């Protein structure tokens, strides 16, 4: 039985709540059409205590408008922005799968090690999605200057078919779409953000590529070397911790893979990958240069064997979230 029904130009029936985060709630729903047409989707709604706050509503609408035209196999698609009884909601692609946080936990629980080729493959798909999003233009052909700013384990999903999907553009910045207080507020997960993001500086697409490098290192090592007991300590690690030689941390990391990691995680912006296409090329060349390499089907088989297609209760939590916003204070130095 439906919990409630949303009636608008489209009709949706809520099936169950998938996740309740700090600022939003995600439901699994059925989109109903003529002649008993039914499509399973996800519905993202602002939590009631934020529903009357102008900035949250504007950013929610801005996010919907921003991602509406992001149509790519490696990005969770948004179908519709609606409003009912004064509450705004987004109808989104429903992913049957898990996010990387759940994926990593299952690897630990099953005492399995992720093959390095699959780790590289996963991040190569993230790089594909980022390359597309970063190059997106408006209807007049002007670059949007989109930066996701929250590329992390919780915001990367793997479907049981093996598709890798980047989601949650809720704190992304793009010209003309979302309220942005960059320089005064740092938004995102401290243990995945770039050094410039952690230091209250203005970011560009290279910030997301650093975060993708953190994701790759995390997948390979089975831990996030930047994660500290507190968010502030994690931020400081991002800004100043010496970058290790990854070959000494995992014997599977060879010279070439270490070079890729070092370039993705370069604190000097001039030495970092300049765009997603560069990172994508190096990752794909690494896994395919000698012949056959991993595919969606390879990853899908691995994850189905790992989970048995049993989706944990909060499997789609990355369609929403409550990103931490750290305000700049006198005790937190930042470059202007």
Range of the domain at 18: 5-92
Question: Do 77 and 114 have their domain in common?
Answer: no
Question: Do 138 and 287 have their domain in common?
Answer: yes
Question: Do 152 and 193 have their domain in common?
Answer: yes
pLDDT of residue 176: 58
Q: What is the CATH number of the domain that holds 278?
A: 1.10.510.10
Question: Do 77 and 109 have their domain in common?
Answer: no
Q: How many residues does the chain have?
A: 336
pLDDT of residue 175: 65
Looking at the 3D structure of the chain, how many domains does it have?
A: 2
- Separation of alpha carbons 90 and 43, rounded Å: 6
Kindly name the residue from 138, 150, 208, 255 that is annotated as catalytic: 150
Q: Which of 39, 57, 92 is the last residue of a domain?
A: 92
Q: What is the CATH number of the domain that holds 33?
A: 3.30.200.20
Alpha-carbon separation of residue 110 from 96, 103, 290 (angstroms): 21, 11, 31
Per-residue pLDDT of the chain (336 residues; tens, 9 = 90+): 455 565 555 688 999 988 776 677 889 999 988 888 999 999 988 877 777 788 778 888 888 888 888 999 999 999 988 888 878 898 999 999 999 999 999 999 999 999 999 999 999 999 999 999 999 988 888 888 899 999 999 999 999 999 999 988 877 776 656 555 555 555 678 999 999 999 989 899 999 999 999 999 999 999 999 999 999 999 999 999 999 999 999 999 999 999 999 999 999 999 999 999 999 999 999 999 998 999 999 999 999 999 986 555 544 333 333 334 455 443 343 333
| CA 117, 119, 125, 129 torsion-angle sign | negative
* Residue 298 within a domain: yes
Question: Do 187 and 261 have their domain in common?
Answer: yes
For residue 229, count other CB atoms closer than 10 A to its CB.
7
Q: Which residues contact 282 (CB under 8 A, 6 or more apart)?
A: 260, 263, 273
Question: Quick check: 76 and 320 in contact, CB under 8 A?
Answer: no
Question: Do 17 and 145 have their domain in common?
Answer: no
**What's this model's pTM, rounded to 2 decimal places?**
0.86
Q: Which of 92, 117, 150 is the last residue of a domain?
A: 92
Question: Do 183 and 234 have their domain in common?
Answer: yes
Q: Which residues contact 34 (CB under 8 A, 6 or more apart)?
A: none
* Residue 332 within a domain: no
User: For the purposes of burial, counting CB atoms within 10 Å of the CB of 242, is it exposed (0-12), middle (13-18) or buried (19 or more)?
Assistant: exposed
Q: Which of 92, 127, 142 is the last residue of a domain?
A: 92
Q: Sheet harboring 156-159: ordered strands across?
A: 97-99, 156-159, 164-166
pLDDT of residue 270: 97
Decide if 150 is catalytic: yes
């Amino acid at each position: 039985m439906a919990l409630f029904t949303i009636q608008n130009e489209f009709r949706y029936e809520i099936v169950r709540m998938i996740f309740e985060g700090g600022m939003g709630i995600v439901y699994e729903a059925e989109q109903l059409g003529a002649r008993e047409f039914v499509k399973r989707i996800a519905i993202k709604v602002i939590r009631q205590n934020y529903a009357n706050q102008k900035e949250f509503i504007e950013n929610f609408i801005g996010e919907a408008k921003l991602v509406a035209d992001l149509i790519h196999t490696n990005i969770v698609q948004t179908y519709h922005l609606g409003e009912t009884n004064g509450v705004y909601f987004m109808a989104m692609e429903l992913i049957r799968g898990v996010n990387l946080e759940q994926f990593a936990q299952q690897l630990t629980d099953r005492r399995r090690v992720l093959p390095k080729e699959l780790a590289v493959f996963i991040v190569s798909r993230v790089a594909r999605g980022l390359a597309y999003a970063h190059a997106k233009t408006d209807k007049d052909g002007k670059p949007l200057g989109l930066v996701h700013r929250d590329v992390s384990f919780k915001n990367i999903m793997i479907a049981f078919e093996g598709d890798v999907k980047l989601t949650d553009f809720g704190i992304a910045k793009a010209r003309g779409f979302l309220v942005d207080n960059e320089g005064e507020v740092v938004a995102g997960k401290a243990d995945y953000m770039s050094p410039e993001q952690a230091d209250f500086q203005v970011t560009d697409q290279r910030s997301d590529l650093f975060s993708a490098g953190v994701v790759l290192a995390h997948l390979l090592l089975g831990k996030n070397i930047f994660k500290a007991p507190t968010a502030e300590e994690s931020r400081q690690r991002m800004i100043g911790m010496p970058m290790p030689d990854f070959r000494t941390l995992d014997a599977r990391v060879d010279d070439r893979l270490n070079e890729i990691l070092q370039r993705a995680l370069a604190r000097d912006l001039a030495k970092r990958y300049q765009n997603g296409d560069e990172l994508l090329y190096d990752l794909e060349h690494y896994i395919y240069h000698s012949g056959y390499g991993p595919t969606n089907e390879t990853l899908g088989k691995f994850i189905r064997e790992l989970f048995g297609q049993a989706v944990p209760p909060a499997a789609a939590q990355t369609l929403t979230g409550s990103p931490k916003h750290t305000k700049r204070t006198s005790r937190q130095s930042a470059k202007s």
